[in-house]
Amino acid sequence: MAHKPDILLIESSVQAIDEPRRQLLAKKYNLIQYDCDSVDDFIERMKPGGLYASIQAIVRLGWHKVGRFADLRPFATEVVAHFPPSLKIVSCSGHGYDAADTVAMAERGIWYCNTPNACTEAVANTATWLVLDTFRYLTYAQLSARNDWATSRELALLADDPCGKALGIVGLGNIGLEIAKRCEAAYGMRVHYHGPRRKLEAEKTLKSGATFHETLDEMIRVVDCIVLAAPYTKETHHMLSTPQFTLAKPSGLRVVNIARGKMIDEEALLEAMKKKQVVGVGLDVHDKEPGVNPKLRDNWMVTLLPHVGVCSHSAWSNFEKQCWDNLEAYFETGKPLTPVHEISRTG
């Protein structure tokens, strides 16, 4: 009988487990549970003769931000250098992959797969609510209801509705497009977007279409609310900072971020709020997570979430399915379904 491939599983305490499928997988693969106490321990086990020396795949499942391995960075540059020659594929839950050195893996002929579109519904729903909150200041209203009813009257001349306003989206991918659809349908917002290229097919899915802007600065000048829904890269680091905030319309800009915290210069954001260049803020992500900027935390006109846009049973189920789909596709065909990079070696 042929030796079953060794598959290393890195599991979260928050996940959806498809028991019937896992039972079938166990018949085809040798599923090994990751239980290292440190990255150094992980590296040691991948050395010749170690427990993980012959792994052919790593599958990371569930929500990375909770549980015993919440702080683990198993795909960082300094770890990738120690991956054994046998490793051929990494299948990891989640949309973003900024914590993984996908280039280094590709150069070594290792497929890295994320799970695109897996948490689109959950994150888009969160963003749509944050857009409304930046106009209506409902976080502050909730504070008033719980503590001092009379303070809510301060919102009378501040709150507005997003109806008919211009929405600017950075990154019209799966999540960005779903946010656009929701805000158009629910609030009647006019959609603008910025990204590396125009997306004509995506525009057609919106009843009123969308306006493409080749530059971020061009888009900021004409929108009332901007939503960041793009990947975090060197190019998108602090993409919203003082120069951008100064371009806001006289009525002010609303800012929503469901992407990555480091895409906004938080000190510049705070200064823009003082100058009324930014008049509404909704953040699910933060520059120094899990820390929250105290100046933002103490401002109840700002809506803050602890990076929970993904939190939904639908997201966990999709993560589980797509991770296993990528693994099985690779071993059956030589190529996974959703690789981040194309590579020449297919095993």
Instruction: Give the 3-state secondary structure percentages of the chain, helix then strand then coil, rounded to 5.
Output: 35, 15, 45
Separation CA 324–CA 36 (nearest Å): 22
First-to-last C-alpha distance (Å) of the chain: 21
Sign of the dihedral through C-alpha 282, 284, 287, 292: positive
Q: Is 307 among the residues known to form the active site?
A: yes
The one catalytic residue among 68, 221, 307, 341: 307
Contact 126, 108 (CB under 8 A): no
Question: Cα–Cα–Cα angle for 274, 299, 267, nearest 5°?
Answer: 50
Q: Is 107 among the residues known to form the active site?
A: no
- Number of C-beta neighbours around residue 28 at 10 A: 14
Which 8-state DSSP code applies to residue 2? P
The one catalytic residue among 45, 60, 136, 260: 260
Q: Is 60 among the residues known to form the active site?
A: no
Question: Cα–Cα–Cα angle for 214, 216, 222, nearest 5°?
Answer: 95
The one catalytic residue among 78, 107, 214, 289: 289
Q: Which residues are catalytic?
A: 260, 289, 307
